[in-house]
Amino acid sequence: MAMVKSDKIWMNGRWVPWDDAKIHVLSHVAHYASSVFEGIRAYDTPQGPNVFRLEDHIDRLMLSAKIYRMETPVTREQIRNACVEVVSLNGLHECYIRPLIYRGYENLGVNPFNSPVEVAIAAYPWGKYLGEDALTKGVAVKVSTWQRFAPNTLPAMAKASANYMNSQLIKMEALVDGYAEGIALDVHGSVSEGSGQNLFAVIRGELVTPPLHSSILAGITRDTVITLAREMSLGVREMTMPRELLYAADELFFTGTAVEVSPITSVDKLPVGNGTRGPITKQIQDAFFSVVRGQSAKHRDWLTLVPASARSGAAVAAGARPS
C-alpha cells in the first residue's frame, strides 16, 4: 500500500512540512530499533472526524515508553492533543495516526541513555490494510514457521518497533508463499497472533482468543471486540489455543487498528467453516463499525471529536488537501 502524503508532521512540539520531517542517519533508532509507537484511526462520523479510543492508545504508548525507560521531552497531554490537531491541520476526515517516540542522534552504542528521546506524530489517509475486499471476502493465511518471542526476552505488552522485526519475518514469509498473512505460534507451540493483529476463533457460538501470556500485544481493538461481544450475549474465553484449534474453528478473524475486524477464510489451505465470512464475524463487524462511525449510542466515550473550530481553519492554514 503506497504512502499518501499529508502536509504537516508534529516533531517535538513543532509542525514540520512532511518532506522536512527527517532524522540523522546515525540516530540511535535507525541502528537499534529504539522506538515505541501507536497506530490510531480517526473515522468520519455524522459529527465530524472522531479519533477512536485515543486515551487508551496514549496510555499504551506511555506504558511502552516507561518499559523502555524513555522519558519524553513533552507531556502525555501534549502528545494526546497533537494526535487530534494533526488530523485537523492536515484537513483529514478519515485517517491513520502514527505517534512515535524514538531515540535520536547523539551517541552510537547499545547504551541508549545518552541519545535524546524525541517524539513525532503523523496522520495520513489509509484504506483497508489487507485489501478492499478483505472485510467481506476474508483472507487466506498460513501458520508461520517463525514463532513469537519468548516471555522475558522482548516485552510483548510494549508496542515497540523492535518487536516488529519478528512481525516482518512472519509477513514476508506469508506473502512469498502466496498468503495474505501469517499466524505465529508462541514458544510453547500455542497460537499467539498475526504479524500485527490479534486473533479470535468462533467455536460453537463462543469467541476464543489467546491470553496475554501467549506473547500477544494487549490489543485495543481486541478489547473492543471482547466488550462488544459480551454486550451481545456472546461468550468470550481467553485460553491457550493449540494450533489444531485453528482448523477446528467455525470462524476465525483478525482484529487490530489497521485490519479492524477481518475474517480469515482458510488456514494452511484448509477452509475455515464453509470458507466464507461467518455470521458471528459479520455481527461483530457490524457492531464495531456502528460504534467507530458514531452510528451507535453506545460507547460515545470511545470517540474523541476533532473540534469544529480546529477543522474550520486547518485546511487553509496547512495548505491541506481535503480527503
Say whether 198 sits in a helix, a strand or coil: strand
Q: How many CB atoms lie within 10 A of CB 17?
A: 12
What is the DSSP code (8-state) at residue 116?
Answer: P
C-alpha pair distances (Å), 292 with each of 15, 42, 54, 135: 28, 8, 12, 15
> Closest by alpha carbon to 19, among 265, 322, 323, 319?
319
Amino acid at 99: P
Q: Is 5 a catalytic residue?
A: no
> Closest by alpha carbon to 7, among 228, 213, 316?
316
Q: Given 5, 22, 137, 159, which residue is catalytic?
A: 159
Q: How far apart are CA 253 and CA 199, in angstroms?
A: 6
Q: How far apart are CA 271 and CA 252, in angstroms?
A: 10
b (16+ CB within 10 A) / e for 100-117? bbbbbbeeeeeebeebeb
Query: How many helical (H) and strand (E) elements, i.e. helices and strands, does the chain have?
Result: 9, 17
Q: How far apart are CA 231 and CA 176, in angstroms?
A: 40
Annotated catalytic sites, by residue? 159
